Amino acid sequence: MNLTATYIPVKTVDGRISVHSGLKKRLPLCMDYFKNLLDLLKAEREEDRNQYRKLTETTSIAERRANGLTWYPIAIRGSEMSRGDYVTVEVERTTHQDISHQLRSGMPALFFSNHDPKTDRVEGTISYLSGNRLKITLLTDELPDWSRDGKLGVEMLFDDKSYDEMQEALKTANTLSENPQNRLINILTGQKSPTFHADVPRLSIPKLNESQLRAVENILAANELAIVHGPPGTGKTTTLVQAIKALIQQDHQKILVVAPSNTAVDLLSEKLHEEGLNVLRVGNPARVSERLMALTLDHKMAEHSLMKEAKKLKKQANEFKNMAHKYKRSFGKAERDQRKALFDEAHRIMKDVGNTEQYIIDDLVAKAQVITATLVGSNQYMIRNLNFHTVVIDEAGQALEPACWIPILKGQKLVLAGDHCQLSPTIKSAEAARKGLSTTLLEKCVTLHPEAVTLLEEQYRMHEHIMGYSSQVFYDNRVKAHASVATHSLFSGDRSIAFIDTAGCGFEEKLEGTSSTNLEEAALLFKHLTQLVAELSQFYTPQNFPGIAIISPYKQQLNVLNEQLLHSPELEPYRANISINTIDSFQGQERDIVYISMTRSNDAGEIGFLSDVRRMNVAMTRARKKLVIVGDSATLSSLAFYADFVSYAEAHDGYHSAWEWM
């Protein structure tokens, strides 16, 4: 079994990422390592808080609602007592339901009345969110009187708790690193090398290809660290699921599986469940499906045999509380004593409820084979003190390193899976990003420990010409298309890639705040798309029409593209098949046809954040059968990456001048 990989990602002077052999670089000693991370996290926290203040302190409630920070107005749909004698209130957003928002389960939030928002406010935590309803557990044992007077809202608070969790994890890791016996921490910080045992039997898993099998074997053989490098479309999730299944069969121990986003956690939870594993999903899923909800702690608690008794007790406690609330504020000693007695009885019953619920949680956790959560969610109270033999971090290329240390400290062995050649996590502090916070633990470990890495080498998404350039630039030409997709096309004779060059057309970009737009480029893109759709309509019906994505690096360009779509009557029958999004938001998705509006066009050759070519790696690998890039080669070619792509497109008969459509 080959346990040695010899590739290391290196950024070259022209911004290209190549993957080749090289020498390991040692990181600073552990103490300095974690001190540096703590300093970077502090800078990020301060910048994040400053941005939050700008969004909240000087804006109206309507502006905060438009920015997705606030639900207002809301209506109370129910309330109940919860753990710790806190009250949980369920609310519904009654208007402005079409506005996207940033509220998430587990997030600190403010329950307030707009009658007097400075005083009529209670802090809490969002414990559940689905559609236009959410539950918020308030830091009080009863609903405030002002909650009966209407004009209510919920607003997200700055998430100090997540930063506290990350900070505490880094401090703990720093302390533990002083013990030379703590091999995992010393390996991850570059002080030691990972080890492997050689007695792993050759596996036979029919649904895996050769490189996927090697990845699973590497994970089984690893004593401390294994890395799965999964380029786009290579079946990383499939590989991870089989590896987790094999680990449980080998070690017979519970595994913690985490990811930066709820969406990634949901996908893994479902796939693991489909393999017959007992999965416990801690936290609130990003989407609501019956199958996914059945895996959550809340659902499993509700189905537990002891929960019926707990619900009965909780109902009694609520009845006592309701009786206590019937007493008016102006009452005598006898009434006051009676009110206190009712509250005391409610609290006593809730203590019994808490004990019963804790028993149920312990029972469910004990029976679970896999526990899934987000990085920060892995420290929720029900699993905070658990230790695991193996921790798996998926989408590690998008994970902020300080957040990774929260689950890492719970395990003896770590599996990292992801692709550091795609987008890294968003960092709000330019200083912190510049000093290294944007470099993920995955990227560091791939460089430090190439022997722990297995590259998945066969992709099942793209035509070979769509994959070819990314494979050449980012993956040392090692990623190939599976035979089932290598030559698939929209119709016989169609070319899989096209670069439409607007150089010399006078399509000048326009600056829109910190973003850019290019109206003429968008119009040209839709002219090409309309022509393609007319051609495709000869082969497809609206029911089986290929999916189309139009993506751009710039948010303001989306407005221009959406406006173009609105005024394209020929595309009306196919509008449901067309989505428009930013590149960053489209990571992880795919379509049959992808158009990329590059937007930048200027005499100075300025391309802004397009110089982060990992963004283009994401963009170019979303298409299954056809990739169309519209851009100005004169501007883009200031970076060799784009100049080389134009040559690549030309070599595959995919280069066109915009004049062909003018």
54-158: CATH architecture: Beta Barrel (2.40)
For residues 65 and 60, what is the distance between their CA atoms, to the nearest angstrom?
9
pLDDT band at residue 5 using 50, 70 and 90 as cut-offs: very low
**Maximal C-alpha separation, the chain:** 92
Q: Answer whether residue 44 shows pLDDT above 50.
A: yes
Nearest residue to 551 (alpha-carbon basis) of 566, 562, 563, 537: 562
Predicted local confidence at residue 317, as pLDDT: 79
State yes or no: pLDDT of 327 exceeds 90. no
Closest CA to 310 of 368, 351, 345: 351
Q: Do domains 162-278+371-456 and 461-660 have the same CATH topology?
A: yes
pLDDT of 235 over the 50 cut: yes
> What is residue 20's predicted lDDT score, i.e. its pLDDT?
38
Question: Given this model, what pLDDT does residue 479 score?
Answer: 98
Mean pLDDT of 32-52: 96
**Cα–Cα distance for residue pair 493/246, rounded to 1 Å:** 44
Question: What is the residue-wise DSSP string for 49-92?
Answer: HHHHHHHHTTS-HHHHHHTTSEEEEEEEEEEEE-GGG-EEEEEE
Architecture of domain 162-278+371-456: 3-Layer(aba) Sandwich (3.40)
Q: Is the pLDDT of residue 280 over 60?
A: yes
- CA–CA dist 200, 217 (Å, integer): 7
Could you give the C-alpha distances from 24 to 396, 447, 451, in angstroms and in order?
20, 6, 11
Strand, coil or helix: what is 257? strand
Contacts of 531 (CB under 8 A, 6+ apart): 661
Task: Name 655's bridge partners.
Answer: 499
Q: Chain-centre distance of CA 190, in angstroms?
A: 27
Contact between 528 and 605 (Cβ < 8 Å) = no
Radius of gyration over alpha carbons of the chain, in Å? Answer: 27
Strand partners, 244: none
- Find out whether 116 and 61 touch, Cβ atoms under 8 Å: no
- What pLDDT shows up at residue 11? 41
406 has pLDDT over 60: yes
Task: Please tell me the CATH code under which domain 461-660 is placed.
Answer: 3.40.50.300
DSSP tag of 491: S
pLDDT tens figures, 67-114: 999 999 999 999 887 776 788 999 999 999 989 899 988 899 999 999
For 469, 481, 533, 621, the CA distances from 477, given in Å and listed in that order, are: 8, 11, 33, 15
Q: Is residue 17 over pLDDT 80? A: no
* Entry field: residues in the chain: 662
Q: What is the mean pLDDT of residues 292-321?
A: 85
Q: Is the pLDDT of residue 436 over 90?
A: yes
| Amino acid letter for position 456 | L
Query: In this structure, are residues 92 and 131 in contact, taking their beta carbons and an 8 Å threshold?
Result: no
Region 391-403: mean pLDDT is 98
CA separation for the pair 499, 501 (Å, rounded): 6
**252-280 mean pLDDT:** 95
585: Cβ contacts below 8 Å, ≥ 6 apart: none
Cα 608 from Cα 513, distance rounded (Å): 13
- Extents of the domains making up the chain: 54-158, 162-278+371-456, 302-366, 461-660
Q: pLDDT, tens digit, for every residue of 159-216?
A: 999 999 999 999 999 999 988 889 999 999 999 999 999 888 888 899 999 999 999 9
497 forms beta bridges with 627
Peptide bond into 285 cis (omega under 30): no
Q: What is the pLDDT of residues 533-572, one digit of tens each?
A: 999 999 999 889 999 999 999 999 999 999 999 999 999 9
Structure tokens at 598: 């590059």
Alpha-carbon distance 629 to 651, whole Å?
Answer: 15
